[in-house]
Amino acid sequence: MRQLLISFLFFLSFLFVGSRLSAQLIAPCLPSQLDFGGALTCQTACIYCEIDGVEDATIPPVTGSIDIDNCLAGAPPITLENPRWYGFIAGSSMIDFTIKSLGCQNDEGLEAAILSGGSGVCGSHPLKAISCSQLDPNNPIIGAFGLIPGQAYYLVVDGVNADICKYHIDVTFGSATPPELGTLDSIQGLKKICPGAVTNYSIPPVDFALSYVWTAPAGAKINGGSNNVVIPADGGDAGTTIQVQFGAVGGLICVTASNACDTPKTTCIQVVNQPLAITTLPDITICFEELPYSWQENPDQGVVGPGTYTLTTPPYTSYLGCDSLVRQKIIALPRKQKTLPPKFLCKDECFIIGG
């Protein structure tokens, strides 16, 4: 029976999880957050790197209620009135949480839901979940199927009708222990660029990464923003390629891959930023008869009289978006002439030159 249920729910969950929006960044819990217990809102939830064995309690409502009216598995709807939110990283495609009540003030009991960690999940109302239900006191289990190991999800626990309850959370099937971060390979991209250059840098996707932090030298822009950006991994190649527009200086291009619970991994490359060298063309010599002369590199420039000229183009835009210059020396020869010695002629006598 369980195998049939797994197969059916896996199919439904695959449709839901596979079509979710880009993952938002859920930060790992700080010690102070762990001392406080689960977050009071979805937006403030953090990643529990070890959620197995957590004990917590609901508290009197501090915000308005939120409905979960659509669950792929379970018994919707449920209304969250005093929830506790926990982020976790899936270590397996299937998981069961056993949430045992340690006592409720009004004996109403507990309800719970598992949601994707996708972007926009917290902001949608009513919420949509992978699974949700009121918990059976004799078998207080909530499970989910079709999870992607290494990706973030939410577990939310609530008192039915705002009941104040203490409870204990155990992972009784599957795993909420984050997989180890995969290998971070070297950054691929140009190591010599010029001021104003626009070019791409990339890495292969890192297994089980949740986010990539990219940094670039001062004055640079990553993907049109600042020189320091955080990009959700979304379980694929999102965040593995960036476009950098350089300023006037070079420096390090770095990327840090993180999955919230494992030690982050960082790699960098040094990029040299220097202006493009001036392209100097061979000297050319022109005759007086070719004047005025229009320069082929820039027809707006030219030579009108004899002499030696060094012409430089206005800045060209290179394939990287940098300015480049072309320079050429032009030697314009004077008119050729010969001074003959004096010659005396008698009246009516002619003298022919060049004839």
Would you state the pLDDT for residue 197? 92
How far, in Å, are 54, 101, 132, 173, 174 from residue 170 at the CA level? 7, 12, 17, 9, 11
Which of 84, 236, 225, 96 has the alpha carbon at shortest distance from 157? 84
Would you state the pLDDT for residue 8? 34
Does pTM top 0.85 for this prediction? no
β-strands 198-202, 127-134 pairing: unpaired
Measured CA to CA, the distance from residue 177 to residue 85 in angstroms comes to: 17
Instruction: Give the tens place of pLDDT for each residue, 89-106.
Output: 999 999 999 999 999 999
Would you state the pLDDT for residue 311? 87
CATH class of the domain whose range is 192-273: mainly beta
Measured CA to CA, the distance from residue 33 to residue 39 in angstroms comes to: 8
According to CATH, where is 2.60.40.10 located in the chain? 192-273
- Lookup: tokens for 315: 């800045």
Would you state the pLDDT for residue 192? 92
Low-confidence ranges of the chain (pLDDT < 70): 1-25, 118-120, 235-236, 354-355
How far, in Å, are 112, 116, 270, 313 from residue 135 at the CA level? 7, 20, 56, 78
CATH architecture classification, 2-174: Sandwich (2.60)
Would you state the pLDDT for residue 118? 66
| 87, β-bridge pairs | 47, 154
Would you state the pLDDT for residue 355? 63
Would you state the pLDDT for residue 7? 35
Would you state the pLDDT for residue 18? 34
Would you state the pLDDT for residue 320? 77
Rg of the Cα atoms in the chain: 37
According to CATH, where is 2.60.120.380 located in the chain? 2-174
